[in-house]
Amino acid sequence: MTATRPPNIAHKPVVPGVVPSRTRGHVPGEVGVWIFILGDMVVFAWFFIVFMHQRAQRANVFNEAHKSLNLTLGGLNTLLLLTGSWFVVMALHALRANNQRTGKRLIVVAIVCGLGFVINKLLEYHEKIVTGHPHEQADFFMFYFVLTGIHLVHLLIGLAVLTLMWRVAGKPVLGQRQFRTLEAGASFWHLVDLLWLVLFALFYLVSG
Amino acid sequence: MTTGNAAALARLVRLPAFVPWAVLVGLTVFSWWLGDGHGPVEFAAVAVLIVAFFKVSVVGAHFMELRHAPLALRLIFNAWCAVVCVALIVLYLAV
């Protein structure tokens, strides 16, 4: 008796350079990375809530302080991170299509966007430190420097991750292991992006 | 628009994740405008928060590829967006 067995995806041989990714139910990178990402998101959620709670106690002081931030630099930084994230998406797409040269170039553009963010942020910190702020606004600026500072550390780690991704993208053959690293790295970079989206709203945009 | 421009635009739109990126940029510019003192202050602040967390969910679905991920991961991520967004709006309105 002959029976045709349905193809068993679990035992599908791994073909180097051909990665069966982006199928339904695929965890980008690996589960461990997502435990870290979600954990980090919970910690930041707590930061956001504590900030908003403090703001509710002294809304007028926080409003005045918020007005002295440079909205243009904050907005530009948001656009830089969104664009950098988009280039990482395109890089992964190119690498999946076995186009390593393009993939590496796109990662470099994402790194440049990240560096642009760092330069902008340092300019902003410098401007704030030089001009100073009234004593009663100390709490707002404590939150501002600590939260954006922790985010900046994430971003610097993200730049190191992008550099690692650039190196991995240059390997002669990209297999499942390399794609796990690339996807995990990309997810971390997008985490840096999404945390900033909330920080931008809380510090630069929310008023009243 | 010339044929060349239309072709260039069509190529741009076909790039991976171009549409989510364009939506994110558009929403950023909109919330930037709201945060710059346009519109009633309280409405603007609540709208800014909703837009910010909607942007986060777009980043999750399209950039982090969560729309291809297991349901549990998508639910946890989007629940985070909803819960934190509501908590921040409640704290804002509590003033």
Q: Does domain A30-205 have CATH number 1.20.120.80?
A: yes
DSSP A137: G
Least confident of A181-185, B36-40, B49-53, B76-80: B36-40
B48 in contact with chain A, both atoms CB, cutoff 8 A: yes
pLDDT tens, residue by residue, A89-136: 999 999 999 999 999 999 999 999 999 999 999 999 999 999 989 999
Q: Residue A46 has which token pair?
A: 């707590």
Question: Which sequence spans correspond to the domains of chain A?
Answer: 30-205
Considering only CB atoms, which chain B residues are within 8 Å of A49? 84, 87-88, 91
Cβ-based neighbour number of residue A202 at 10 Å: 23
A45 in contact with chain B, both atoms CB, cutoff 8 A: yes
Q: Indicate the average pLDDT of chain A.
A: 90
Q: What integer is the mean pLDDT of A84-88?
A: 98
Write out A29-64 in H/E/C secondary structure: CCHHHHHHHHHHHHHHHHHHHHHHHHHHHCHHHHHH
Q: What percent of chain A has pLDDT over 90?
A: 86
Residue B65 gets the label, from left (phi > 0), alpha (psi -120 to 50) or beta, of left
Measured N-to-C along each axis, helices B18-35 and A71-96 cross at an angle, to the nearest 10 degrees, of 170
Q: Residue A117 has which token pair?
A: 């963010």
* Distance, CA of A127 to CA of A73 (rounded, Å): 11
What was the pLDDT predicted at A186? 98
Cα A201 from chain centre:
16
Measured N-to-C along each axis, helices A176-200 and A31-57 cross at an angle, to the nearest 10 degrees, of 10
Of residues A6 and B58, the one with the higher pLDDT is B58
Model confidence band, residue A146 (pLDDT cutoffs 50, 70, 90): very high
> Are A90 and B15 an interchain contact pair (Cβ–Cβ within 8 Å)?
yes
* Distance, CA of A178 to CA of A170 (rounded, Å): 10
Which of B25, B59, B92 lies at the smallest CB-CB distance from A193? B59
Residue B1 clears pLDDT 80, i.e. is over it = no
Tell me, what's the ipTM?
0.93
Considering only CB atoms, which chain A residues are within 8 Å of B64? 28, 186-187, 190-191
Residue by residue, DSSP assigns chain B as: --HHHHHHHHHHHHSTTHHHHHHHHHHHHHHHHHHTT-S-HHHHHHHHHHHHHHHHHHIIIIIS-GGGS-HHHHHHHHHHHHHHHHHHHHHHHT-
Residue A1 clears pLDDT 80, i.e. is over it = no
What was the pLDDT predicted at A22? 55
3-state secondary structure of A199: helix
The residues near A16 (Cβ < 8 Å, ≥ 6 apart) are A173, A174, A175
> Are B21 and A86 an interchain contact pair (Cβ–Cβ within 8 Å)?
yes
Distance, first Cα to last Cα, chain A: 77
Among A148, A169, A161, A168, which Cα is nearest to A189's? A161
What was the pLDDT predicted at A9? 39
Cβ-based neighbour number of residue A129 at 10 Å: 11
What was the pLDDT predicted at B5? 87
Measured N-to-C along each axis, helices B71-93 and A31-57 cross at an angle, to the nearest 10 degrees, of 10
Q: Which helix (H) or strand (E) holds A152?
A: helix A138-169
What was the pLDDT predicted at A23? 59
pLDDT tens, residue by residue, B20-62: 999 999 999 999 999 998 889 999 999 999 999 999 999 999 9
> Are A183 and B65 an interchain contact pair (Cβ–Cβ within 8 Å)?
yes
Residue A3 clears pLDDT 50, i.e. is over it = no
B69 in contact with chain A, both atoms CB, cutoff 8 A: yes
Q: How many Cα atoms within 13 Å fall on the side-chain side of residue A45?
A: 18
Least confident of A8-12, A133-137, A175-179, B21-25: A8-12
